[in-house]
């Protein structure tokens, strides 16, 4: 056989099995050939040129070394063809995934970005947004912590940025959830543009007097940027649950963690501007601007194209249905986009009917009204850890929307809270605990959050009830009040 740049590694190993040992000795990167999965995926489609790129070896040198090893082991001379790679990009999905993961693992090990960019361009040439999400999913499934994947997220987007940038943002009709998200992104960019101008005037280490002149403007800009929370809440509560139905959980967890980083930065920026903490606040504002712009990029070049291809119109209707309950950042949807009348009908509430309870009878409408008018927020999670209900009270403390129904409760909380949520559920399910209490202070209010194990008459675990209440005014009560004082 002729040995050239486009010779398949799989063909070489079939003809000369001893080359696997030789290649592994030639470069530690070729140890991936020890994996049966890699041999069946990458090995079957990768060429010698692509292998040289993976091993960071000059192609002509690798061709010569392989030919010399064949001559040494068999006594046969092998003709060496052109050392120019003319093969097509690797199209096999599994092979591409393995190569992508290998690049990210090397990022994790600290390999130089320039080397990895070269490998990427040589190996793959182009990439679909969904492959980034699948890669994150597989890395987490293999045991890489969400925090590590999050840390690598910006870096691997940087590696793949040129390829991703060649792809247009998805085109959808006005009123479609993706259209609304992108309108919000344009509004965010306008505010960030103003922030960047102020930061440019201030410089890296401004005098306090110069900062004081800009402080009022900065405070207004940061306050405006804080509205992005509604954008992120809709993603977390409406879009992510539908993606989870399709098995996309890892990328959602990573993105949620990045949302939380931005939330922390907004809070820190507010305090820094208020207290004139120069120069630290300047660094915080620069970080906030970059983080929000990077998130816009990740959304419009990875998340949104993937979601558009993956979700049906019916699922987008479900996403759209709950958006109003959370609200929008800076803008309103440009149109009242809906799916077909038949799908809207499926989502409609059924007719009122009476429900027989232990101590009375009520219509479904009455039960619903009663729960919505209670002075507490309620959520119920069944024995399978799936959210079955939440009370849509007028001034709900923690946002909820229809997208959470049927979702695993573990995925309804920020990634950093996963361990606590799981521990409560495990203890309730095992019968070791029946109640968990928390209290926090948020936006000047004192909030009590309680979890109760729900059991049937035989004591079998049937789920968990979450009750949240603003007890700020209750904590101020003293003495007694026995008379009506409406006048």
DSSP 408: B
The answer to whether residues 287 and 214 belong to one domain is yes
CATH number of the domain that residue 387 is part of: 3.30.450.20
Averaging pLDDT over each range in 20-29, 212-221, 405-414, which range is the top one?
Answer: 212-221
Residues 295 and 193 in one domain: yes
Q: Which of 326, 344, 366 is the endpoint of a domain? A: 326
* Residue 415: DSSP 8-state: G
Confidence band for 342, pLDDT divided at 50, 70 and 90: very low
CATH of the domain at 272: 1.20.120.520
**119 pLDDT higher than 70:** no
Long-range contacts of 295-300 (CB under 8 A, 24+ apart): 295/255, 295/258, 295/259, 295/262, 296/185, 296/188, 296/189, 297/157, 297/161, 298/153, 298/157, 298/255, 298/258, 299/181, 299/185, 300/169, 300/170, 300/182, 300/185
Would you say residue 470 lies in a domain? yes
In a domain, 439, yes or no: yes
Do 185 and 108 lie in one domain? The reply is no
Residue 160 predicted with pLDDT over 70: no
Residues 204 and 319 in one domain: yes
Segment (H or E) for 390: strand 387-390
Residue 311 lies in a domain: yes
Out of 165, 198, 228, pick the residue that ends a domain.
Answer: 165
Contact 379, 387 (CB under 8 A): yes
Range with the largest mean pLDDT of 134-148, 346-360, 393-407, 461-475 = 461-475
Report whether pLDDT(308) > 70: yes
Cis peptide before 279 (omega within 30 of 0): yes
Q: What is the pLDDT of residue 423?
A: 96
pLDDT in tens, 245-285: 988 887 788 899 899 999 999 999 999 999 999 989 999 99
The per-residue pLDDT of the chain, averaged, comes to 84
Whether residue 158 sits in one domain with residue 14: yes
Higher pLDDT, 131 or 222: 222
Residues 387 and 433 in one domain: yes
Could you tell me whether strands 354-357 and 360-363 are parallel, antiparallel, or unpaired per DSSP bridges?
Answer: antiparallel
Identify whether residues 85 and 123 lie together within a single domain.
yes
- Stronger pLDDT, 125 or 134, i.e. the higher one: 134
- Backbone φ and ψ for 288, nearest 5 degrees, come out as -60, -45
> What is the per-residue pLDDT across 63-111, written as a single tens digit (0 to 9) for each?
889 999 999 999 888 888 765 554 445 545 566 666 667 777 777 777 7
- Give the pLDDT score at 105: 74
The domain in which residue 447 lies consists of 375-476
Report the chain's terminal Cα–Cα distance, integer Å: 100
Asked whether residue 391 is domain-assigned, the answer is: yes
Task: Specify the number of domains making up the chain.
Answer: 3
Tokens of 15: 């003809």
Place of tokens 């199209």: 91
Give DSSP secondary structure letters for 39-98.
HHTHHHH-BHHHHHHHHT--HHHHHHHHHHHHHHHHS----B------PPPP--HHHHHH
Residue scoring higher pLDDT (148 or 159): 148
Within a domain: 370: no
> In this model, does residue 169 exceed pLDDT 60?
yes
Percent of the chain topping pLDDT 70? 81
Residues 108 and 57 placed together within one structural domain of the fold: yes
Mean pLDDT, residues 408-422: 89
For the cut 60, the answer to whether the pLDDT of residue 55 exceeds it is: yes
Check pLDDT > 50 for residue 472: yes
453 in a structural domain = yes
**Does residue 1 fall inside a structural domain?**
no
Predicted local distance difference test score (pLDDT) of residue 344: 46
Q: What is the DSSP letter of 279?
A: T
Let me know whether 156 and 186 are in one domain.
no
Q: Verify that 75 and 143 share a domain, yes or no.
A: yes
Res. 345 pLDDT band, cuts 50 70 90: very low
Query: Is 0.85 topped by the overall pTM?
Result: no
Let me know if residue 296 belongs to a domain: yes
- Same domain, yes or no, for 159 and 226? no
User: Do 384 and 245 lie in a common domain?
Assistant: no
The whole-number pLDDT of residue 333 equals 93
- Tens-digit pLDDT profile for residues 4-21: 888 888 888 889 999 989
């Amino acid at each position: 056989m002729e040995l050239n740049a486009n010779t398949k590694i799989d063909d070489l190993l079939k003809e000369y099995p001893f080359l696997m040992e030789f290649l592994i000795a030639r470069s530690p990167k070729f140890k991936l050939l020890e994996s049966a999965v890699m041999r069946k995926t990458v090995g079957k489609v990768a060429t010698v040129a692509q292998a040289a790129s993976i091993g960071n070896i000059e192609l002509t040198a690798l061709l010569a070394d392989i030919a010399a090893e064949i001559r040494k082991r068999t006594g046969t001379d092998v003709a060496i063809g052109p050392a120019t790679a003319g093969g097509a990009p690797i199209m096999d999905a599994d092979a591409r995934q393995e190569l992508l993961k290998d690049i990210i693992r090397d990022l994790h090990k600290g390999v130089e970005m320039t080397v990895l960019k070269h490998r990427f361009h040589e190996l793959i040439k182009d990439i679909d947004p969904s492959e980034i999400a699948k890669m994150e999913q597989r890395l987490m499934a293999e045991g890489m912590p969400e925090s590590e994947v999050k840390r690598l997220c910006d870096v691997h987007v940087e590696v793949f940025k040129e390829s991703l940038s060649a792809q247009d943002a998805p085109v959808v009709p006005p009123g479609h959830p993706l259209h609304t998200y992108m309108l919000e992104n344009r509004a965010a960019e306008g505010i960030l543009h103003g922030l960047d101008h102020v930061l440019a005037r201030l410089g890296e280490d401004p005098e306090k007097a110069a900062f004081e002149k800009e402080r009022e403007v900065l405070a207004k800009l940061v306050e405006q940027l804080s509205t992005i929370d509604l954008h992120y809440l809709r993603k977390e509560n409406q879009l992510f649950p539908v993606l989870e139905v399709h098995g996309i959980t890892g990328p959602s967890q990573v993105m949620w963690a990045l949302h939380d980083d931005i939330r922390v930065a907004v809070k820190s920026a507010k305090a820094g501007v208020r207290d004139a903490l120069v120069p630290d606040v300047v660094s915080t504002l620069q970080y906030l601007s970059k983080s929000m712009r990077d998130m816009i990029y990740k959304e419009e070049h990875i998340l949104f194209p993937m979601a558009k291809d993956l979700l049906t119109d019916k699922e987008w209707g479900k996403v759209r249905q709950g958006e109003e309950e959370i609200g929008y950042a800076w803008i309103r949807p440009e149109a009242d986009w809906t799916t077909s009348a038949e799908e809207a009908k499926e989502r409609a509430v059924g007719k009122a009917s009476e429900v027989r309870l232990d101590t009375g009878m009520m219509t479904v409408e009455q039960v619903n009204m009663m729960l919505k008018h209670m002075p507490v927020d309620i959520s119920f999670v069944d024995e399978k850890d799936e959210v079955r209900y939440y009370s849509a009270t007028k001034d709900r403390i923690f946002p909820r929307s229809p997208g959470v129904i049927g979702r695993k409760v573990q995925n309804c909380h920020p990634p950093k809270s996963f361990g606590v949520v799981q521990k409560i559920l495990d203890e309730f399910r095992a019968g070791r605990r029946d109640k968990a209490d928390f209290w926090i202070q948020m936006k000047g209010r004192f909030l009590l959050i309680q979890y109760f194990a729900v059991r049937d008459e035989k004591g079998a675990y049937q789920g968990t009830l979450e009750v949240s209440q603003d007890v700020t005014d209750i904590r101020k009560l003293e003495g007694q009040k026995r008379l009506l004082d409406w006048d």
